[in-house]
Amino acid sequence: MKKYISCVASSAVASFYISELQSKNTPKMHCYKTITNTSARLKESDIVSSPSGRLGHDLAGSVHTAKENRLARYIKRLVSELHIIHEMNREMDIVLVANAKLIGLIRKELPTSLSQSVILEVEKDYVSLPVDELTGHLRDLLYPVLKSA
């Protein structure tokens, strides 16, 4: 029986599942924790009211909007939560499920200790799927990976 941590994320919400795959026909998955990014659905004007506060700059001179800055903070929080869950379950591998942009942002924030535990990245938006459907999709993708490990 192989256990793993699944992080299923969108820009608005991330759910962390503890899963076990006993065989291809008997996966089990339960939601351990969910975090939200309340500003994901807000307009830029709703996040900050003063025009001078809407843009930020980094050391390279790139300009970032308030919404981008909030997304970056949300990604850092997501990775921090994933790190905490993984610290409590070190033997478990990690599966990341999100759209391509978010996977890229998450990947940039992952410390080496976590990135070495990632066994699968799924570039899909499965965050709104019922757990039974999500389990089926991940089972079909994971079974060959876990079987060969």
Nearest to 149 by CA among 75, 71, 81, 95: 95
Token pair recorded at residue 110? 């992952």
CB 102 within 8 A of CB 127: no
What are the pLDDT digits (tens) for 90-149? 999 999 999 999 999 999 999 999 999 999 999 999 999 998 899 889 888 887 876 776
In the block, which residue shows the tokens 């994971």?
Answer: 142
What are the pLDDT digits (tens) for 29-39? 899 999 999 87
Residue boundaries of the structural domains of the chain: 2-148
Q: Kindly state which CATH superfamily the domain 2-148 is placed in.
A: eRF1 domain 2 (3.30.420.60)
Token pair recorded at residue 99? 């759209």
CA distance 15 to 88: 17
